Amino acid sequence: MIAKMIKNKTHSERLFHLRKVLTKIDLDGFLVPLTDKYQSEFPPENARRLYWLTGFSGSAGLAVVLLDYAGIFVDGRYVLQVSKEVDISLFKPYHVSEQPIASWLKKYASKKQIGYDPWLHTVDYLDQLEGRLVNSGVSLVAVEKNPIDQIWKDRPQPPSKPAYIYDNKMAGKTSAQKRIEISEILVQQNADSAVITNPESIAWMLNFRGNDLLHTPISLSFAIINANRSVQLFISPNKVSNMLISHFGPDLLISPPNSFASALTELGSRGATVLVSSSNSPSRVVQLLNDSGASVLFRPDPCELLKACKNSAEIAGIRAAHIRDGVAVSRFLCWLSESALNGEVDELSAAEKILEYRSENKNFVGPSFNTISGAGPNGAIVHYRVTEETNCKLKKGTLYLIDSGGQYLDGTTDITRTVAIGLPSKLMKNHFTRVLKGHIAIATSCFPEGTTGGALDSFARRSLWEIGADFDHGTGHGVGCFLGVHEGPQRIAKRGADTPLCAGMLISNEPGFYYEGNYGIRIENIELVQTQPMHDIQDRVMFAFEALTLAPIDKTLLDIELLNRDEINWWNSYHQRVWETLGPLLDKKTKNWLRLACDPLKLQVE
């Protein structure tokens, strides 16, 4: 309680000082996004402005601070979490779908000047927001200096760990080959250059990795690639070794980050046609290009789709990484089946145990995100993050949800399993089986070329909709290869899933159900999009999914009467694969446990 009071006082003081600065620079309010200038989902410590100001630690959110009022806007994943982390007397929480930011500004900020940092907001976001504020009297004003940076006196230094070479064999293509592909895209688009502002795209393009973010192996950087395949990389020189310079080759110029703006201006002075991603790039990038005379061509990041469609070497590595990861998860689930019943296991110790097992694997570098280890009601918080203050024991008669993953040199993993501690209730089994039915519906989908994730999303929800339930997050996200655990452009969701799924893409399959105050359920595998041979007079190109994640799903949570014959066949086929692949790699004790966990279900008499 004392710690929370001190925390609330700290945030109150920070809010007070921010408002003083806003008054001094003649602003009536300020937008505080979660992201940094690289649009990082989990920014480094020196760029966590939203967390510093409010205490909110999620991966998506934005605060609007007025001189006498403030709100914080989050999506459905964080509705429960934000109220636990933020002093709601300072920042009123809003579900962004139910209370859009533009509507809120119209109500509380009419005829007011609202500042924003143009390095922290994308072109698309600002265009959409400004479009919704037309004739509202609200004015959005770009600031040269972020007012939060002016009051953040003990702000950490930017990350400075060295970057390193990513093996061409694991990448499957050399950087030179990738630059040829990107150059061809620029030529097709009649563009002289492309500005790349996503560090994951740059890491993929140049076959290097870094340590700037806790769970994503990248170095924060910008780049300009030209149609002649030359590249200018804007990165702190102290991160780049002579060996890495040699790896990059002679067609790459390394420049300090503070020269990026002048390089954009130089492109404009030459009258260059410059490809820019409006969904990823900071508004300031486009402003600098436009003001200096460049012709801006809004197109997707040319690396994005190339990066999303994994090549054969990447797929081979990713398969191997998932097998090793499945061994670690199976060892963990075996341990949990014995240890949880004695009442001594808590959320923190469980998260530490799965990390311990992963750490013993070949090529393991670290977790791919903070493990979500949620017991009982904490499992209902979609992106729950356990702390010493919130840590709970795993108790009999409850559910335990663990969402975790690993960064391996040859692949990135992400898996969720929900486990019954002791005997589950009939209601738990009903909810779990409905989530499973949605998972199976996605896993067994077969769809024609050109199909988007949005077209598949309802498959995962149908069984829940039948009882008036749903889940307030997307069904699936893309996954990188030793890069971000969340990767675009592909996704499966109700909205914003407009990119057709293509062969070689990875996508998560993770429907869920969340019973506030009681438990959460989620089942997640990573699926690989593959061409599906078909014999039909139309001769269409068809795709299907292959589950790369291999780990048993808790059989004790099944209500088998809810499953049809095809769903039972899927269950048995999947668990046979799990057994045959992982069994030979396990110690005797875990192997015996896995054999029972993978025993086939008996088909019900119809």
Question: Is residue 79 pLDDT above 90, yes or no?
Answer: no
Give CA–CA dist 217/164, Å, rounded. Answer: 10
Predicted confidence at residue 6, as pLDDT, reads 46
352-392 pLDDT per residue, tens? 999 999 999 999 999 999 999 999 999 999 989 999 999 99
Predicted confidence at residue 343, as pLDDT, reads 87
CA nearest neighbour of 358 among 385, 327, 315, 386: 327
537-564 pLDDT per residue, tens? 677 899 999 999 999 999 999 999 999 9
Question: Is residue 310 pLDDT above 60, yes or no?
Answer: yes
Question: Is residue 314 pLDDT above 50, yes or no?
Answer: yes
Q: Grade residue 515 by pLDDT with cuts at 50, 70 and 90.
A: very high
42-70 pLDDT per residue, tens? 999 999 999 999 999 988 899 999 999 99
Predicted confidence at residue 59, as pLDDT, reads 84
111-126 pLDDT per residue, tens? 999 999 999 999 999 9
Q: Is 409 strand, coil or helix?
A: coil
Q: Which residue has the higher pLDDT, 380 or 497?
A: 380
Mean pLDDT (the chain) is 95
Predicted confidence at residue 5, as pLDDT, reads 43
DSSP structural state of residue 122: B
229-245 pLDDT per residue, tens? 999 999 999 999 999 99
Question: Is residue 247 pLDDT above 60, yes or no?
Answer: yes
E-strand spans in 493-564? 506-509, 512-515, 519-522, 525-532, 542-547
Q: Grade residue 533 by pLDDT with cuts at 50, 70 and 90.
A: confident
pLDDT more than 70, % of the chain: 98
User: How buried is 571 (Cβ within 10 angstroms: 0-12 exposed, 13-18 middle, 19+ buried)?
Assistant: buried
CA angle 86, 91, 92 (to 5 degrees): 100
420-444 pLDDT per residue, tens? 999 999 999 999 999 999 999 999 9
138-151 pLDDT per residue, tens? 999 999 999 999 99
**Beta carbons within 10 angstroms of residue 291's beta carbon:** 11
166-222 pLDDT per residue, tens? 999 999 999 999 999 999 999 999 999 999 999 999 999 999 999 999 999 999 999
Give CA–CA dist 141/399, Å, rounded. Answer: 48
Q: Is 418 strand, coil or helix?
A: strand
Q: Grade residue 225 by pLDDT with cuts at 50, 70 and 90.
A: very high
Q: Which domains does the chain have, with CATH numbers?
A: 1-150 (3.40.350.10), 164-307 (3.40.350.10), 309-565+573-598 (3.90.230.10)
Q: Grade residue 302 by pLDDT with cuts at 50, 70 and 90.
A: very high
